[in-house]
Amino acid sequence: MTSCDLCVVRNRAICSALDGRELAALNAIGRTRNIVAGESLIWEGEESVLVANVIEGVLKLSTNTEDGREQIVGVVYPSDFIGRPFGGTAGQGVTALTDAKVCVFARRDFDAFAREHPGLEHKLLERTLGELDRTRRWMLLLGRKSASEKVASFLVEMAERLSGAGCRIDAEDPNRRWLVLPFSRQQIADVLGLTIETVSRQFTRLKTQGIVELPSRRDVVVLDFQGLVAEAG
Closest CA to 220 of 151, 149, 125: 151
* Residue 22 domain boundaries: 3-142
- Mean per-residue pLDDT for 40-58? 90
Do 120 and 206 sit in the same domain of this protein?
A: no
Residue 16 shares a structural domain with residue 121 = yes
153 and 124 in one domain? no
Is the domain of 26 the same as that of 66? yes
pLDDT tens figures, 143-173: 778 999 999 998 998 888 876 667 888 888 8
In whole angstroms, give the CA distance from residue 143 to residue 160: 22
Backbone angles phi, psi at 67, to 5 degrees: -90, 10
Q: Are residues 133 and 174 in the same domain?
A: no
Domain boundary among 142, 164, 184: 142
Q: Indicate if 137 and 38 belong to the same structural domain.
A: yes
Q: 137: domain CATH number?
A: 2.60.120.10
Q: What is the 3-state secondary structure (H, E, C) of 160-205?
A: HHCCHHHEEECCCCCCCEEEECCCCHHHHHHHHCCCHHHHHHHHHH
How confident is the model over 193-204, as pLDDT tens digits?
889 999 999 999
- 23 and 115 assigned to the same domain: yes
- What is residue 59's DSSP assignment? E
Cα 51 from Cα 111, distance rounded (Å): 10
Distance in angstroms (rounded) separating the CA atoms of residues 15 and 10: 7
pTM of the model: 0.78
Q: Specify whether 192 is located in the same domain as 155.
A: yes
Same-domain status, 114 and 151: no
Exposed/middle/buried for 98, CB within 10 Å: 0-12, 13-18, 19+? middle
What pLDDT band is residue 1 in, cutting at 50, 70 and 90?
very low
Pair (71, 133) in one structural domain: yes
User: Quick one: pLDDT at residue 213?
Assistant: 95
Among the candidates 121, 142, 163, a domain finishes at: 142
Residues 110, 187 within the same domain: no
Number of domains in the chain: 2
Task: Check which CATH number belongs to the domain holding 213 and give it.
Answer: 1.10.10.10
Using H for helix, E for strand and C for coil, what is the string for 76-117?
A: ECCCCEECCCCCCECCCEEEECCCEEEEEEEHHHHHHHHHCC
Domain end, chosen from 110, 142, 174, is at 142
Helix (H) or strand (E) holding 222: strand 219-222
